[in-house]
Amino acid sequence: MLQRIFGIHKPLIGMCHLLGLPGRPRHNAAGGMDAIAKMVSRDVRALQDAHVDGLVFYNENDIPYGLSVPHEIAAAMAAVVAQIKYDNSLADGAIVGTSLKVDGVTWNPVDVERAHRVVELAHRVRELAG
């Protein structure tokens, strides 16, 4: 199915974690939505520069998690993602998240060197697998 949807058998997707959104305990009101967009934009650039096959956006910092997503959270996520300049041809499928973050910590920014190494290795594995 991924091959049909994304044009590649084993896609590599970079995970972009948003900072705490408005109305959630970890939201930084002083930084506001601009701080959230700035951090996720930096991660998007790093992941695109590493040539991941796709991107996925998560609100991992909106803990505690609920059983439903409030409308304001969905709207805030949409507003942040709409501000980001990214290659929207990236749409594929195996999720690589925290392992690409500085020190392996979810809320840290993407470690650019680590992202490049992981994606390079994934591309090599694809070539060998044919």
Residues 75 and 68: their CA atoms lie apart, in Å, by 14
Rounded to two decimals, the pTM is 0.64
Is residue 10's pLDDT more than 70? yes
As given in the structure block, the two tokens for residue 35 are 């701080």
Domain count for the chain: 1
Average pLDDT, integer, range 91-105: 57
Tell me the CA distances in angstroms from 27 to 32, 41, 73, one per residue in order: 8, 17, 11
Q: What is the pLDDT of residues 42-87, one digit of tens each?
A: 998 898 888 888 888 888 888 887 766 677 777 788 788 777 776 5
Q: Which domain range does residue 72 map to?
A: 2-129
